[in-house]
Amino acid sequence: MSYVNNIRMFVRVYELGSMSAAARDQRTSPAVSSARISELEKHLGVRLFSRTTRSLQPTENGRIFYDGAKKVLEAIDDAEAAVMDVTQNPRGTIHVSAPLGIGRRFIAPHVPAFKDIYPQIDVRLRLSDRIVDVTAEGLDVAFHLGILDDSTLKVRQIAECPRVLCAAPAYIARRGDPVDGAALVADRHECLNLRFPGAKEFQWTLQTSEGPRRFEIGGPFESDDGDVLTGWALDGRGIVMKPIFEVAEYLRDGRLVPVAEAMPPVPTQLACLSQHRRLKDPKVRLFTDFMAAHVREEMRRAMKGLEGRFAPSAGQTG
């Protein structure tokens, strides 16, 4: 299997653009990563990467070899999945990503239970609110919170998630409650923004009597971590737009209160994304089925007592 491991390392170096990043991804050292690439280059008799102290770029031979190498690994993975005994002997590693809030609240707590049921399946979970590239980052499963554009990925809808504009009572006492989106903009309210490379939330889309409408918003605070925004909102620093399940406990106890209720935000979607071929892998199906069921149940619990006020309720998508 050493040659296959060398190919796998090459593919991850190519996709991640770094020996050290590929080494972390493959749970080994940069020295081992470099040695595997050198061994592969020696076997092929060509250079696969041009290396300098500051950069690493694939050569033309490297670009050609990548296409074939990727197909080889996919064929191996598919062949292993085809002969796997799903009910008794699922095995292997699943690479999963999720937004920070979803991951911390709903995914990570259930990973140990999944591992107890399927002890030969390892789960590598990465949490980030940034947009991930499922294919380039070698992910098997990516949980996505947001409205999806057209995608070449397999999309499994898990739940529709109503959202709310909310702020601390201290902020409302200081700045007032904007009655709608127009007041939100006209009165230059301090909006807490989720921003990261590739983010599209430079506007808030609210529901009006004429249909969804986008409003330009601004404010002095922004972060790439949604939980940081919630903390700032609790501290009275501004208005935040959040899925209700993330702030339900604060809405119930009054630490946050809804604002601009005449124009609530358009609901967002929680979905599970996979490459089409990955769904042939039994362990991926087992994991997505397991997590989808638990996420829906956790969302229902989080929304308990708020369903009548904030419709539609989460967890209704199959």
Return the CATH number of the domain spanning residue range 2-83.
1.10.10.10
Give the per-residue pLDDT at 164.
94
Give the per-residue pLDDT at 170.
96
Give the per-residue pLDDT at 315.
43
Query: Is a pLDDT exceeding 90 seen at residue 143?
Result: yes
CB 148 within 8 A of CB 270: no
pLDDT over 90 percentage in the chain = 31
At the top level of CATH, the class of 92-161+269-302 is alpha beta
Give the per-residue pLDDT at 256.
96
The tens digit of pLDDT for each residue in 53-110 reads: 777 889 998 888 988 888 888 787 777 766 665 556 788 889 999 998 889 989 999 9
Task: In whole angstroms, give the CA distance from residue 97 to residue 221.
Answer: 26
Task: In whole angstroms, give the CA distance from residue 10 to residue 42.
Answer: 13
- Residue range(s) of every CATH 3.40.190.10 domain in the chain: 92-161+269-302
Q: Which 3 state secondary structure label does DSSP give 157?
A: strand
Return the CATH number of the domain spanning residue range 163-266.
3.40.190.290
| Alpha-helical runs (H) found in the chain | 2-16, 19-25, 30-44, 60-83, 100-102, 111-117, 169-175, 181-186, 226-234, 244-253, 282-302
Query: Where residue 313 falls among pLDDT bands split at 50, 70, 90?
Result: very low
- Residue range(s) of every CATH 1.10.10.10 domain in the chain: 2-83
The tens digit of pLDDT for each residue in 201-228 reads: 578 889 988 889 999 888 888 888 888 9
Query: Is a pLDDT exceeding 50 seen at residue 267?
Result: yes
Q: Are strands 257-258 and 240-243 parallel, antiparallel or unpaired?
A: unpaired
